[in-house]
Amino acid sequence: MSGLGTLLRQRFRRDRIQLLVWVLGFAALASVGHSAVSQSYGTPKDRAGVIVLLEQTPSVLVLRGTPQGTQSDAFQFMLLFAFLGVLIGLMATFLAVRHTRGDEEQGRAELIESTPAGRITPLVATALEGVIAVAVIALVNTGGFLLYGADAGGAVLAGLALASVGGCFLGIGLLAAQVMRTSRGANGLAAALVAAAYMVRGIGDATGTVDVDDPLSMTAGWVSWLSPIGWGQRTSPFSDPTVWPALLGLALGAIAFAGALALRTSRDIDSSIIGERAGRAHARPSLAGPIALVWRQLRNPTIGWLVAAVLFGLLVGSLSETLTGNAPADVKQNLGDTVGSIAGPNAHGDLVDLFIVAMFSMIGAIAAVCAVQSVARARQDEANGTAEIVLSTAVSRIRWFVAYLVIAVASTVLVVGVAVLGAIAGASGAGAPSGTVTTITSAALAQLPAVFLLLALVALVFAIVPRLTIGLGWTLLLLAIFIGQFGGLFGLPEWARDLSPFSHTPIVTEANADWGSAWLMLGLAVVVAAASVLLVRRRDVALGG
């Protein structure tokens, strides 16, 4: 194991910012989770009301988990664990692939493996880094529970459950990196397995049964035994502590790691179990212009967002009616306040309509991601030199950059459009009144101006300071979403909330909703976008650096 310490330090050196962000993110989630539970569902009675609502709504159980009684920590665990499991799973797989297949693809692995470190030590160093990262995040999770006075044994077990999910996917990520030829392929496979683990346990939870002796607890269906995230949930640390399901995840991770070691020992560098698919020898006739080229590059992620938008729309549509179901009135009131604050500043109206508006602001966020991803792509193409190839052909700078904006606007409209279709389908399936369709459509349309304004602002950043496009672009997006949608929940002052375009989205639940701000944002977006195109026309192509 020559050089193990050096390689481990190198890995932490390379990942230091990224890991810090992950750890802080988990700490923030622990804190937000606790305050959300204590503010929105402060009393056992509130929580009991929500649990009754959940038990009748399998589509929410899919997203969250099975209720385990009204104890506040158990309630928080139920709300958040599956989500945290997905996050730590992604963290671990990306880390695993980055330092193995990623390095191999870039040619760095060849350099390292030619030293006495050999083939195996780099893999062990990556595994070790992953184990440490997962352990730190698990400790943060445990610490979060302890800080708010949870039962110590339960807090430790909650951390262990999270660590078992992380450890399991660390091993799976390392194995995927051996199986696939490219880091993109390995990340795709491992992330798909994380998503599958989430969905499988979702099906298990949705098909769960209410406990006979405790009507506010459920037992998940057998299907969730097929998911590492399901194993973590089954430790039920604050209601019925059980350690051994967590050990299943750790064992599977260890087996996958052993498999990765065996494969790496026996295979050549740059080889893989599943080879890279050969591409087409000739381009399809449709691949003939800048717009087709941008679409070709963004197609896969955009399709992913479209699928997410349809599913989310279906969920929103089908849920909207359950809210009017037989939940206690005070629970509805409570829910209405929370939902209303997401819907917009001082929003009021019918609970169902508020709910639809609040949920469509999430669709607006997804659409904004699609928009920003397109401008970010323009910057990546400019920095890595492919833009130079396009611009040295008969394509003007204006036509080149407008292609990214066209794809941004088109994918934004598509995301919102398919979400509307999904929501209408879901609502009519649940037998909602016809007025709901109007609410859905206008709530969706109301999202677009803010998204377009954000897109135009990021385009302006690209035109003026191209090197900051990616960092500043995503930061602007996150801030706008956070301030616009959760600013109310976190009690930000009004002037701060006004900074986000999303705060100026019309609230369509109100009888005479004010669309003036929407038109204003739309006009501003057009002007800023036009200015950014002209500025791109005038500046040099700025290469990477």
* Helix, strand, coil % in the chain, rounded to nearest 5: 75, 0, 25
315, 373 in Cβ contact below 8 A?
no
Q: How far apart are CA 487 and CA 479, in angstroms?
A: 10
Name the minimum Å distance from CB 399 to another protein. 8
CA distance 357 to 343: 6
Residue closer to another protein, measured from CB, 66 or 469: 469
Q: In whole angstroms, what is the distance from residue 507 CA to residue 353 CA? A: 10
- The span from the CA of 154 to the CA of 334, in Å, is 28
Instruction: Give me the least distance between CB of 189 and another protein, in Å please.
Output: 16
Closer residue to another protein in complex, CB, 330/388 = 388
Angle at alpha carbon of residue 410, lines to 405 and 412, rounded to 5°: 95
Name which of 47 and 98 has its Cβ closer to another protein. Answer: 98
Distance, first Cα to last Cα, the chain: 36
Closest to another protein by CB, 146 vs 395, is 395
User: Which lies closer to another protein via its Cβ, residue 184 or residue 467?
Assistant: 184
Q: How far apart are CA 209 and CA 264, in angstroms?
A: 44
For residue 329, give the DSSP letter: H
- CB-wise, 134 or 390, nearer to another protein? 390
CB atoms within 10 A of CB 55: 19
From the CB of 201, what's the least distance to another protein, in Å? 32
Element (H or E) spanning 218, and its range? strand 218-219
By beta-carbon proximity to another protein, the closer residue of 182 and 517 is: 182
Coil, strand or helix at 68: strand
- CA–CA separation, 321 and 429 (whole Å): 10
Q: Which residues bind another protein (CB under 8 A)?
A: 105, 181-182, 184, 276, 278-283, 287-290, 293, 296-297, 384-386, 388-397, 538, 540-541
Least distance (Å) between residue 388 CB and another protein: 6
Closest to 436 (Cα-Cα) out of 526, 354, 344, 329: 354
When the beta carbons of 106 and 438 are compared against another protein, the nearer one is 106
What's 504's DSSP letter?
G
Question: Shortest approach of another protein to residue 396 CB, angstroms?
Answer: 5
Structure tokens at 419: 């979400």
